[in-house]
């Protein structure tokens, strides 16, 4: 170290210009004029301190007798700091932890732009690499944390039966009814429920076909007895299933807060409401119009198909995705609204003279919506050359508008599907045949590792954006 090593220097003047530092046991004597070349660094600021309190704000301890400054830092990284004071440049070795190095130079008040060109590209690539995988890290963390929380909720519900009458029997029935795939009986019930749901939907569809419509002597449509038997059987099974779940539920309040249980309730309500309305309409001729309400309620039987979500991991994942993707869905609708508004006005401007179907902007909204979503019914089409060019631009813009948010939504769907699978596997591994003694198996190491990783990344980002960098940059300019 040319002109900077103190081992060969002596004399009173030299000693007056020397400061002694101790970094985690690594002791060194440094010349003050060497430190003063970089006035915003921590060691240079020590030279300007006028009191012990000011000194202790910059170091961890100070020995008045030996005039030694102590720093509780990693001594293995301090040689890189010394090399910086000697050469004015920083060098980063490949074996170093890049985040530890970044935090260390931030502590000593050295900015990243002092990194030499030979190391700069590799350094910044390594710094930016975690950001490229940020979505995967957050997805994995969210998957682990959410699955862990849901498993604990499932476990807590199961423990509530210990203090209830016939708790062991009710817990077995609860697991069998509420967790398809938990055991062979629960799989049988699940398959049977799926067949009943599908049979009910098929019956409703066939009942609307002219080939299966029966007429009375007055020409009024009648219910086909075969379809009516299937409908009554389905309603009976759905009602029994819901009442059984209510009977063995560990917590009724939480039971009715669950979306799948609300779907079960909505799937049978139209039948009973229709029954009541028909009885009221028959008893009071003045309320004959209520029959139309009953017809509307009959159409609500289609909601029974949502009962399949209880038995389908994909449907449950889709519901969770839509629930947690409201921002992306809102973004998609915003893009579509802007595009529809723009292209509808364009189509109205170029087509209003030649096309009777596009003579108003509201009529053009329908055309633009169908075109941007690439549906293309063909009921309304432009006829002029300018209109066709506008339609081409509308279709291309629609493809771009739809694709951008869909990617984000798909990533979330993959996350929730993976989480749901993890949850199902964990639930099936639980054994409640005897008293519950321990929480179901969960990889706590991964769970807390992701939490600590997230915390360290946040602290690293905070340190890289601290005010000292800004002040150092200003001083050099």
φ and ψ at residue 414, rounded to 5 degrees: -60, -40
Name which of 109, 115, 113 is nearest 96 in CA terms.
Answer: 115
Q: What is the pLDDT of residue 474?
A: 39
The reply to whether 67 and 99 lie within a common domain is yes
pLDDT value at 280 more than 70: yes
At residue 441, the 3 state secondary structure works out as: coil
Answer whether residue 190 is part of any domain: yes
Cβ atoms within 10 Å of 417's Cβ, excluding its own:
18
Write the CATH number for 53. Answer: 3.30.710.10
Answer whether residue 403 is part of any domain: yes
Q: State the chain's mean pLDDT as an integer.
A: 75
Question: Which of the listed residues 80, 97, 128 is the one where a domain comes to its end?
Answer: 128
Q: What is the pLDDT of residues 438-457, one digit of tens each?
A: 444 444 444 444 444 554 55
The reply to whether 156 and 277 lie within a common domain is yes
The reply to whether 153 and 297 lie within a common domain is yes
Write the CATH number for 403. Answer: 1.10.287.70
pLDDT value at 124 more than 80: no
The reply to whether 62 and 167 lie within a common domain is no
Q: Give, in order, the Cα–Cα distances in Å from 180 to each of 54, 176, 282, 428, 476.
A: 67, 7, 42, 10, 67
| pLDDT > 70: percent of the chain | 74
Answer whether residue 434 is part of any domain: no
- Domain hosting 114: range is 17-128
The reply to whether 190 and 87 lie within a common domain is no
What angle in degrees, to the nearest 10, is found between the helix axes of 326-351 and 385-428? 170
The reply to whether 269 and 323 lie within a common domain is no
Answer whether residue 3 is part of any domain: no
pLDDT value at 389 more than 50: yes
Q: What is the pLDDT of residue 78?
A: 87
Residue 43 burial by Cβ neighbours in a 10 Å radius (0-12, 13-18, 19+):
buried
Residue 339 burial by Cβ neighbours in a 10 Å radius (0-12, 13-18, 19+):
buried
Distance CA 397, CA 392 (A): 9
Name which of 99, 39, 46 is nearest 70 in CA terms.
Answer: 46
The reply to whether 382 and 399 lie within a common domain is yes
Structural domain count, the chain: 3
pLDDT value at 293 more than 80: no
Q: What is the pLDDT of residue 1?
A: 42
Q: What is the pLDDT of residue 135?
A: 46
The reply to whether 150 and 273 lie within a common domain is yes
Full-model pTM: 0.52
The reply to whether 30 and 100 lie within a common domain is yes
Ranking 5-19, 62-76, 165-179, 429-443 by mean pLDDT, the lowest is 429-443
Ranking 151-160, 212-221, 237-246, 434-443 by mean pLDDT, the lowest is 434-443
Q: Which tokens is 153 given? A: 């909720």
pLDDT value at 421 more than 80: no
Q: What is the pLDDT of residue 111?
A: 82
The reply to whether 110 and 217 lie within a common domain is no
| pLDDT > 90: percent of the chain | 1
Q: What is the pLDDT of residue 295?
A: 66
- Most distant CA atoms of the chain, gap in Å: 126
| pLDDT greater at residue 438 or residue 403 | 403
Answer whether residue 248 is part of any domain: yes
pLDDT value at 285 more than 70: no
Answer whether residue 175 is part of any domain: yes
Mean pLDDT of 234-262: 86
Q: Give, in order, the Cα–Cα distances in Å from 362 to each of 76, 173, 249, 347.
A: 71, 56, 51, 11
Question: Which of the listed residues 274, 291, 311 is the one where a domain comes to its end?
Answer: 311
Cβ atoms within 10 Å of 91's Cβ, excluding its own:
13
Mean pLDDT of 39-53: 85
Mean pLDDT of 305-317: 78
Cβ atoms within 10 Å of 268's Cβ, excluding its own:
21
Ranking 60-74, 121-135, 275-289 by mean pLDDT, the lowest is 121-135
DSSP string, 354-420: T-TTSSSHHHHHHHHHHHHTT----SS---SHHHHHHHHHHHHHHHHHHHHHHHHHHHHHHHHHHHH
Mean pLDDT of 24-42: 85
Residue 429: pLDDT band by 50, 70, 90 thresholds? low
Distance CA 136, CA 134 (A): 5
179: DSSP letter: S
DSSP string, 280-308: HHHH-GGGTTHHHHHHHHHHGGGGGGGGG
Please answer whether residues 145 and 424 qualify as being in contact, where contact means their C-beta atoms are separated by less than 8 angstroms.
no
The reply to whether 149 and 277 lie within a common domain is yes
Question: Which of the listed residues 311, 332, 354 is the one where a domain comes to its end?
Answer: 311
Residue 278: pLDDT band by 50, 70, 90 thresholds? confident
């Amino acid at each position: 170290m040319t002109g900077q090593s103190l081992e060969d220097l002596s004399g009173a003047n030299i000693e007056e210009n020397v400061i002694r530092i101790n970094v985690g046991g690594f002791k060194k004597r440094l010349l003050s004029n060497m430190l003063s070349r970089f006035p915003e660094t921590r060691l240079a600021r020590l030279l300007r301190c006028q009191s012990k309190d000011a000194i202790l704000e910059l170091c961890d301890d100070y020995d008045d007798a030996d005039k030694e400054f102590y720093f509780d830092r990693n001594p293995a990284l301090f040689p890189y700091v010394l090399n910086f004071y000697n050469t004015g440049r920083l060098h980063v070795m490949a074996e170093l932890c890049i985040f530890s190095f970044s935090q260390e130079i931030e502590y000593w008040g050295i900015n990243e732009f002092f990194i030499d060109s030979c190391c700069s590209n590799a350094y910044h690539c390594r710094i930016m690499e975690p950001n490229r995988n940020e979505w995967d890290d957050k997805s994995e963390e969210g998957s682990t944390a959410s699955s862990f929380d849901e498993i604990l909720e499932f476990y807590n519900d199961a423990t509530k039966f210990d203090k209830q009458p016939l708790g062991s029997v009710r817990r077995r029935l609860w697991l069998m009814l509420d967790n398809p795939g938990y055991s062979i009986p629960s799989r049988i019930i699940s398959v049977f429920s799926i067949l009943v749901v599908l049979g009910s939907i098929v019956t409703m569809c066939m009942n609307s076909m002219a080939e299966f419509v029966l007429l009375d002597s007055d020409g009024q449509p009648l219910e086909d007895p075969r379809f009516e038997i299937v409908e009554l059987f389905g309603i009976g099974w759905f009602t029994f299933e819901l009442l059984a779940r209510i009977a063995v539920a560990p917590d009724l309040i939480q039971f009715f807060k669950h979306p799948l249980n609300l779907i079960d309730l909505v799937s049978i309500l139209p039948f009973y409401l229709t029954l009541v309305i028909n009885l009221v309409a028959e008893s009071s001729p003045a309320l004959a119009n209520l029959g139309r309400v009953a017809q509307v309620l009959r159409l609500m039987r289609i909601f029974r198909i949502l009962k399949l979500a209880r038995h389908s991991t994909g449907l449950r994942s889709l519901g969770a995705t839509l629930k947690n993707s409201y921002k992306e869905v809102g973004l998609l609708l915003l893009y579509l609204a802007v595009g529809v508004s723009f292209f509808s006005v364009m189509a109205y401007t170029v087509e209003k003279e030649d096309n009777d179907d596009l003579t108003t902007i509201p009529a053009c909204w329908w055309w633009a919506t169908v075109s941007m979503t690439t549906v293309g019914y063909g009921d309304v089409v432009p006829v002029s050359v300018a209109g066709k060019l506008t339609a081409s631009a509308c279709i291309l813009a629609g493809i771009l508008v739809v694709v951008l948010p869909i990617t984000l939504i798909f990533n979330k769907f993959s996350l929730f599907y993976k989480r749901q699978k993890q949850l199902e596997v964990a639930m099936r591994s639980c054994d409640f045949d005897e008293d519950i003694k321990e929480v179901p198996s969960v990889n706590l190491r991964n769970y807390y590792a992701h939490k600590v990783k997230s915390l360290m990344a946040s602290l690293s980002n905070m340190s890289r954006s601290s005010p000292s960098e800004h002040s150092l940059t200003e001083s050099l300019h």
